[in-house]
Structure 1
Amino acid sequence: MTDLIRGMSMLHFSDLVVSMGGDADAILREQGIDPSLVGEFDFLIPYRSYAAAIGEAALSLERPDFGLCLGARQGISILGPVAVLIRHSETVDRAIEGVCRYLYSCAPPDVATLERSGRSAIFTLSIALRQVAYREQMVEKGLTIAMDAFRFLLGEDFVPRKVTMQHRRISSQERYREQFGCAVEFESDVNSVHLPNEGLDKPIRGRDAAALALAENYLARISPALGLVDHVREMIHRLLKVNHATLVVVAHEMGLHPRVLQRNLADDNTSFEELLDNVRRDMSWQLSATGMQVGQIATMLGYAEQSSYSRACRRWYNESPRDLIARRRRIAASR
C-alpha cells in the first residue's frame, strides 16, 4: 500500500489555517512539507505527514472541527478527474461506484465502498494504513467531502439516514448536525454515510458524456501512485544520470526536509543509503552488459573514484568490475 498522496489533497489548507489565526507555513514545515508546493497536483506528500499537519493545525488552533472545516472548504474539487466522474456519470450509483473504483488516484490509502442493504445504501470510508496520527481528523474530512458529492448528486437539501464514525466524538453534536444534517453515531464498527436506496437510480442532469469518457480513459490508464520507497528509488535512478542523487537533492525534489524523508524511509525499514546502494547495484548489472568501460560505469553510478566502484562491485557480486563485464558478455553470448 502506497502512502503518497497528491498535493491537491491539501488545497485550501493554508488559507483555512490563516483565516483561523494560525501560521500555516510553520505547521507545514514542522511536518517537512514545502508550503509552496501544497495544492499542486504533481507534488506527492507522505500520507502520514499530511495527516499530522491537519492534526497539528486542529490542536494548535484549538479547533477539533478542523477536518470538518477543511473538507467543507475543499469539496469534491480536490478529487480532480474523479470529480468529473461524479458530475457526468449516468446515474448516482454509477458516480459513487466510480469514486470507490478510482479514489486511489487521489489518495491511495483511502478506501471507499458502496453496498446496498435493505432500504439503504451504505457508503463506507477507511484508511488502509495501520499507524496514522489524527486518523479521526482524516475520517471527518473525508466524510465531509463525500457529503459534498452526495449533495451534488441528490440535492442540496439531502440529509443522510445515518452517519457513523469509528472514533470517539471530538466536536459537539451540534457541529456534526450542522455539517451532516443529522446526529452522528460514534465508536461504531465503520465510518459510513447511509443513503436512500431509491435515490441511487436517479439520473444526473446536465451530464456531458464526452467529459465522462475522457475522465474514464484517463483514470483507466493510470495505476496507483508509487509508494514512498519506489518513488525515492525512481528519483535516485533519474538523478544518478546527472550526478545529483544525494539525500538533500532527492528530498528537495519531493518537497520534504531530508530528516523527514529519512524518518519516513525508516518507517518502511530502509534508508536513503540502502536504496542508493540497491539502485547502483542494479544499474551496474545492466551497464556491464552494454560495452561501457569500467570508468564510464563508475561515473554513471555517481562514484568520484573508480576504486570506490570496484569495492562496491566486489561487495555486491564478489568479483571485480572487469570480471562482471566478462560474465555479462558470456551470458549475452550464450543466449
Structure 2
Amino acid sequence: MVNLIRASALANFGDLVTDLGGDPDAVLLEHGVDPAVAGDHDRFLTYTAVATVIGEAATELGRPDFGLQLARRQSIDILGPIAVIARHADTVADALDGVSRYLHTYSPSIATELRRGAAASDFTFTVLLRQLPHRDQMVELSLGIGLGALRLLVDPDFVPLRVTMQHARSAEPEAYEELFGCPIEFEGSRNCLALPNGALDTRIHGSDSAARALAEKYLAPKRPDLAVADHVHDLIRRLLPLHQASLVDVAREMSLHPRVLQRRLAESGTTFEAILDEVRRAAALSLSATGLQVAQIARMLGYSEQSSYTRACKRWFGQSPRQLITGSTSRPWRGPHAQP
C-alpha cells in the first residue's frame, strides 16, 4: 500500500495549534514535516507523517479532541478537484460515489464507500495501512470532514442517524455530541456515518455538469503509483542539499523498504535513478546561474567526484560545467525548472 497523502490534509493545522497555545512549526519540524509544505495540495507527505503530527499535537496540547477540532476548520475543499466533482454531482449519493471513485488521487492510503440499504445507508471510511500511529485521530478527523461535506450538500443543520467508530472513545462525550449531534457507537465493526436515504437522494443546487466533467477528465488518468514518482521527485529535491538523497534515504522518508519503492516506481514506468538524474539536471542549471564554482556545484548535487559531474553535464547539455556556468550567467536566471 502506498503511504501517501496530499499535504492539504494539514490545512489550518497551524492556526488550530496556535489557538490552542502551541507552536505549529515546532510540532511539524519535530516530526520531519516542512511547515512550508503543510496545507499545499500540490505536495505530498506520507500518511504516517500526517497522522503522527496530528496525534502528537493532540498529546502535547492535552486535547484528545484535536482531530474533531481540526475537522471543524477544514472542508471538502482539501480534496482539490475531487471537491469539484462532489459539489457538481446530480445528487448527494452521486457526490459520495464520486469522492470514493477518485479518492486515491488524494491519498491511496484511504478509501470510502457508500453502502446503500433499504431505509438507510452507510458511508464508510477505511485506513488501508496496517500500522498507523494515532489512527483514532485520523478516523475522527475524516468522519468530521465527511459530515461537513454532507452539511454543505444537504443542509447546514444536517445530522446523521448515527456515527460508528472502530476505536474506543478518547475525548469527552460532549466533544462528539457537539460536532456530530447524533448517537456515537465506539468499538464498532467499521468507521461510518449512517445516513437516511432521503438525504442521499437530495439534488444538489447549482451543480454544473461541465465543471464536473472537466474535473473528472483531469483526474481520470491519475493513478496512485504516479503519485509515488511525484513524491520521490519532491523528496530528492529537498534532500539533495543535505546529502541524504539516496534510495535508502528516500525510502526511509516514505516508510517503505527500498525494494518496495523500486517496485512502485517501476509500476509507474520510471526508476529512482531516472528521477535523481532529472532533479540533478534541473539543479545543475539553476546552480550554474548563481556563479558557484564547479566543485561546489558537484558537491551540492551529491557527486563524490567532480569528474562524475563533468560527464553528467556533457550528457545533459553537451557542455562542460564551466561552459554551462558561462552560458547561464550571461542570461537571466529562470529558476530550477528552466530548460536549456
Give the TM-score category using the shorter length: 0.7 to 0.9
- Per the TM alignment, residue 217 of structure 1 is displaced from its structure 2 partner at its CA by 1.1
Partner of 2:242: 248
- Per the TM alignment, residue 248 of structure 1 is displaced from its structure 2 partner at its CA by 2.6
**Does 1:201 pair with 2:201?**
yes
- Give yes or no for contact 1:283–1:301 (8 Å, CA) kept in 2: no
The DSSP-based 3-state class of the residue aligned with 2:220 is helix
Partner of 1:81: 81
- Give yes or no for contact 1:31–1:260 (8 Å, CA) kept in 2: no
- Per the TM alignment, residue 150 of structure 1 is displaced from its structure 2 partner at its CA by 0.9
Residue type at the aligned position of 1:132: L
Structure-2 change in CA distance of 1:43 and 1:172 (3 Å): same
- Per the TM alignment, residue 263 of structure 1 is displaced from its structure 2 partner at its CA by 3.6
TM-score by length of 2: 0.73
- Per the TM alignment, residue 98 of structure 1 is displaced from its structure 2 partner at its CA by 0.2
The DSSP-based 3-state class of the residue aligned with 1:117 is coil
List aligned pairs for 1:145-160, cutoff 5 A: 145-160=145-160
- Give yes or no for contact 2:41–2:78 (8 Å, CA) kept in 1: no
- Per the TM alignment, residue 71 of structure 1 is displaced from its structure 2 partner at its CA by 1.2
- Give yes or no for contact 2:82–2:102 (8 Å, CA) kept in 1: yes
CA distance in 2, matches of 1:46, 1:154: 32
Structure-2 change in CA distance of 1:17 and 1:183 (3 Å): same
Partner of 1:116: 116
Partner of 1:2: 2
List aligned pairs for 1:219-234, cutoff 5 A: 219-224=219-224, 226=226, 230=229
- Per the TM alignment, residue 234 of structure 1 is displaced from its structure 2 partner at its CA by 5.1
CA distance in 2, matches of 1:100, 1:213: 16
- Per the TM alignment, residue 305 of structure 1 is displaced from its structure 2 partner at its CA by 7.4
**Correspondent of 1:264 among 240, 253, 257:** 253
- Per the TM alignment, residue 304 of structure 1 is displaced from its structure 2 partner at its CA by 2.6
Partner of 1:292: none
List aligned pairs for 1:248-327, cutoff 5 A: 248=242, 261=250, 263-264=252-253, 267-270=255-258, 279=272, 304=305
- Per the TM alignment, residue 145 of structure 1 is displaced from its structure 2 partner at its CA by 0.4
- Give yes or no for contact 2:43–2:231 (8 Å, CA) kept in 1: no
**Does 1:136 pair with 2:124?**
no
CA distance in 1, matches of 2:210, 2:161: 34
Partner of 1:172: 172
CA distance in 2, matches of 1:282, 1:262: 14
- Per the TM alignment, residue 2 of structure 1 is displaced from its structure 2 partner at its CA by 1.4
- Give yes or no for contact 1:27–1:53 (8 Å, CA) kept in 2: yes
Residue type at the aligned position of 1:50: V
- Per the TM alignment, residue 118 of structure 1 is displaced from its structure 2 partner at its CA by 2.2
Structure-2 change in CA distance of 1:39 and 1:235 (3 Å): closer
- Per the TM alignment, residue 249 of structure 1 is displaced from its structure 2 partner at its CA by 5.9
List aligned pairs for 1:38-49, cutoff 5 A: 38-49=38-49
Q: Deviations over 1:244-294 (max 9, x none)?
A: 98473676xxxxxx99856435x42228xx99xx8559999xxxxxxxxxx
CA distance in 1, matches of 2:66, 2:248: 27
- Per the TM alignment, residue 163 of structure 1 is displaced from its structure 2 partner at its CA by 0.5
CA distance in 1, matches of 2:206, 2:165: 33
Residue type at the aligned position of 1:61: L
- Give yes or no for contact 2:232–2:250 (8 Å, CA) kept in 1: no
CA distance in 2, matches of 1:301, 1:21: 41
- Give yes or no for contact 2:243–2:302 (8 Å, CA) kept in 1: no
> Which of 1 and 2 has greater Rg?
1
- Give yes or no for contact 2:232–2:275 (8 Å, CA) kept in 1: no
Residue type at the aligned position of 2:45: I
- Cα RMSD (Å) of the superposition? 3.4
Structure-2 change in CA distance of 1:50 and 1:226 (3 Å): farther
Structure-2 change in CA distance of 1:227 and 1:85 (3 Å): closer
CA distance in 1, matches of 2:234, 2:152: 40
User: What stretches of structure 1 move > 3 A for 4+ residues in a row?
Assistant: 225-228, 230-236, 244-247, 258-265, 278-284, 299-303
- Give yes or no for contact 1:27–1:57 (8 Å, CA) kept in 2: yes
- Give yes or no for contact 2:4–2:46 (8 Å, CA) kept in 1: yes
Identity %: 41
CA distance in 2, matches of 1:92, 1:231: 32
- Per the TM alignment, residue 231 of structure 1 is displaced from its structure 2 partner at its CA by 5.0
**5+ long unaligned stretches in structure 2:** 264-270, 278-297, 309-340
CA distance in 2, matches of 1:87, 1:81: 10
**5+ long unaligned stretches in structure 1:** 252-257, 285-298, 308-335
